[in-house]
Amino acid sequence: MPHLKSIPFKKEKASHLRKKTVPPSNGLCYTTHPMETILYFQPPSKTSAPGKFAGVQEIAETNGLHVQTIDGFPSAERLRELTEFWRPIGAIAECGNEYTEVDVRLFGKLPVVFFSHNPDTLPARSFSVSHDSVATARLAARELMTTGFTNFAYIPYAERRYWSEARERGFSTALTLNGFTCRIFRTPLKASGSTGRLYALRRFLQSLPKPCAVFAANDVTAAETIAAARFMGIGIPEEIAVIGVDNYEQICEHTSPPLTSIEPDFRRGGNLAAMMILAQQRKVDAPRLERHMTFGPLRVARRASTRLLAAQDRSVNEALSLIRHEACAGLHAEKVAGLFPCSRRMADIRFRKATGRSILEEIHAVQLERAKQLLRDTSMPLKSIADFCGFTHPNSLRKFFRHATGMTLGDWRATQT
């Protein structure tokens, strides 16, 4: 069965896709041929990963299309009004925690692609794109096994979700393949509400053989796990190492210690969703168009919650502390390397072994984190943001940010509002 990549998507001529202003004989101007539009329905909680939208925009811009975001999922009446207003060629709807499933009948004949819809309950003649949870779980197993742990546990999401169950299966299977077992946390039936689950989680973490590596279903669950462990006086990562999924920085950077997380390739997911809309619009034969496609993990964003080696290397700990405090004040890698009783090259090797990054990459990661925080939480102008992040000129920050995220500073800030 051919894949979407076999379907050509070229940039169309702007003459018939973009708004065209024509001066009539009476001297007035009017607009014809409005740009074709894709409606993008995203959760109102803003838990949507910016990479998804960026991936959709990437394909849309290449094909001369406009993407209109709609917060929350509207009623049938409002959806009808939006459709009449925009005359879209298709819609993309995220099925987050607020909308685990959406009634496809609301869209009528409008082509629609669902993000993260349970593939087992996908309505007939519908299309979906979702993260490959099994591939992510296998990556989590490899990451944790390489740290030297021999005890492992999995913490599922608080509510039953197909992706949480898939990650549990993938993680357990990968460990079994390598001769290890996995302890699974189950909320007792007698536990009532979130408080009962929290008490049960604390007891579960206390009962685990130490040291133990814990894979949590997502970053929300991982943050819950870290808070429960700290309450019980369990050391992280010395006694329990924790890794999550999604790499939501507003969560990962605000746990104590910061959370290691697997970042899905959300941009690729956005690409696939937009391409599926185009394929439906261009009436690609149904047998050629796969109804459900997946995108895999992009990388492991390593932070202190799994840095067991860093906890055993005093120089690495000192280097991490220095970077955390001075990266945005013009810190150079040479100063950090000076903390090691060895050559610059060996310092970088020791640092990378413990953290998964070079010294310079770690400095850049802290600068990027700070830039995002200022863009998200303040209305500070770009010149001031560059100064606060350790860049001597705003253009340097612009180039760095675009290279790291694939988005301009303004575009990224717009996704956070």
In this predicted structure, the answer to whether residue 259 has a pLDDT above a threshold of 90 is yes
Task: Provide the pLDDT for residue 153.
Answer: 98
Spatial neighbors of 40 by CB under 8 A, at least 6 apart, are 53, 56, 67, 68, 69, 70, 91, 92
Q: Which CATH class is domain 4-131+265-299?
A: alpha beta
**Residue with structure tokens 């394929």?**
279
Q: How far apart are alpha carbons 96 and 78 in whole angstroms?
A: 20
The answer to whether residue 30 scores a pLDDT higher than 60 is no
Q: What pLDDT does 96 receive?
A: 62
- Asked if 293 and 265 touch (Cβ cutoff 8 Å), the reply is no
Average pLDDT, the chain: 84
Token code pair at residue 80: 């009808």
Mean pLDDT, residues 86-97: 85
CATH 3.40.50.2300 region(s) of the chain? 4-131+265-299, 133-263+301-306
Q: Which of 313, 362, 295 is nearest to 335 (CA)?
A: 362
Residue 70: both structure tokens together: 């709609």
SS3 category, 340 = coil
What is the distance between the alpha carbons of residues 45 and 270, in angstroms, rounded to a whole number?
A: 19
Q: Hey, which CATH number is domain 313-415, 3.20.20.140, 3.30.930.10, 1.10.10.60, 3.90.550.10?
A: 1.10.10.60
SS3 content of the chain, % helix, strand, coil (to 5): 50, 15, 35
Identify the three-state secondary structure at position 323.
Answer: helix
Grade residue 312 by pLDDT with cuts at 50, 70 and 90: low
> Are 114 and 99 a contacting pair, CB within 8 Å?
no
- Say whether domain 133-263+301-306 belongs to CATH 3.40.50.2300: yes
Q: Where in the chain is the domain with CATH 1.10.10.60?
A: 313-415
pLDDT-derived band at 28 (thresholds 50, 70, 90) equals very low
pTM over 0.85: no
Q: Give me the mean pLDDT over the 103-116 stretch.
A: 83
